[in-house]
């Protein structure tokens, strides 16, 4: 009897020949994911507001033997997103993986003191931008050979606080968009969401090192700590690759067991 040689279980996680676009890719979770996807074989478009920061990560991607394209973009501005999508498509002829990671989470002293400008800014970056970029690239993916879209949400979307209400509302909306786009662009495009807990990034470094957070984590979190940015890469790689070929419309918590 002929026996079929066992397949390499790690092969489906490879991204050789794929092109990934990561917003907010110049630092924090975005940087870790951009480099992680490059190590898995993908060429990477790095987008954020500061071109110099994007170039630094692009240099690191190229040092891994992959192609990289740094692009300055403000995700709350739809003309910027149209330019971003067009530049990426012209450079590589396709985008196989989109990670909507760019975000901002300012703290408001109270709801009544939350200005219209702050509300619009938070919703623009965290919700309006991902909606438009997903529409622009998801429609092209669906018309072509398909792809994977990953939204980066937050546990604040299911555990809002008064100080983070606009941010929590935006991220809850992003959870909803994940499901809506999964149906709109399926079956060729899979759309999933990483609901991130606290990570030690530049934006949150002082907060997660505070005595108050350490006390909360030691008492309530299953892993008793915040995450390292590189600890999100495995989840992103799973969702970006064929390893998750039957996963779409999912919102996956990566939060250290935050109850």
Closest of 245, 255, 115 to residue 196, by C-alpha: 255
Helix (H) or strand (E) holding 150: strand 147-154
Beta-bridged to residue 46, according to DSSP, are 22, 70
Q: Is 57 helix (H, G, I), strand (E, B) or coil?
A: helix
167 is catalytic: yes
Give the SS3 label for residue 254: strand
Looking only at the bridges linking them, the beta strands covering 19-23 and 97-100 are: parallel
Beta bridge partners of 196: 154, 254
3-class SS of residue 234: helix
- CA torsion, ordered 168, 170, 176, 177, to nearest 10 deg: -150
Rounded to whole angstroms, the Cα distance separating 153 from 235 reads: 13
Query: CA 48 to CA 91: how far, in whole Å?
Result: 17
Rounded Cα distance between 90 and 259, Å, is 44
The rounded distance, in Å, linking the Cα atoms of 182 and 162 is 30
Please identify which of the residues 89, 92, 131, 167 carries the catalytic annotation: 167
Q: Please identify every residue annotated as catalytic.
A: 167
């Amino acid at each position: 009897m002929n026996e079929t040689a066992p397949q390499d279980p790690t092969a489906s996680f490879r991204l050789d020949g794929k092109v990934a676009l990561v917003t907010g890719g110049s630092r924090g979770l975005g940087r870790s994911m951009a480099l992680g996807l490059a190590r898995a074989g993908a060429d990477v478009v790095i987008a954020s507001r500061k071109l110099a920061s994007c170039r630094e990560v692009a240099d690191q991607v190229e040092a891994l033997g992959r192609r990289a394209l740094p692009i300055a973009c403000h995700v709350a501005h739809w003309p910027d997103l149209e330019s971003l999508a067009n530049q990426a498509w012209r450079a590589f002829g396709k985008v196989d993986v989109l990670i909507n990671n760019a975000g901002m989470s300012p703290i408001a002293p109270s709801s009544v003191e939350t200005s219209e400008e702050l509300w619009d800014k938070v919703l623009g970056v965290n919700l309006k931008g991902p909606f438009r970029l997903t529409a622009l690239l998801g429609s092209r993916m669906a018309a072509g050979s398909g792809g994977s879209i990953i939204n980066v949400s937050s546990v604040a979307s299911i555990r809002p606080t008064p100080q983070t209400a606009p941010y929590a509302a935006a991220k809850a909306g992003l959870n909803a968009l994940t499901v809506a786009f999964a149906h709109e662009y399926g079956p060729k495009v899979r759309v999933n969401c990483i609901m991130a807990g606290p990570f030690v990034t530049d934006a949150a470094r002082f907060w997660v090192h505070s005595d108050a957070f350490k006390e909360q984590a030691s008492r309530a979190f299953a892993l008793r700590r915040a995450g390292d940015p590189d600890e999100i890469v495995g989840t992103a790689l799973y969702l970006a690759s064929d390893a998750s070929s039957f996963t779409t419309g999912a919102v996956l918590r990566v939060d250290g067991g935050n109850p």
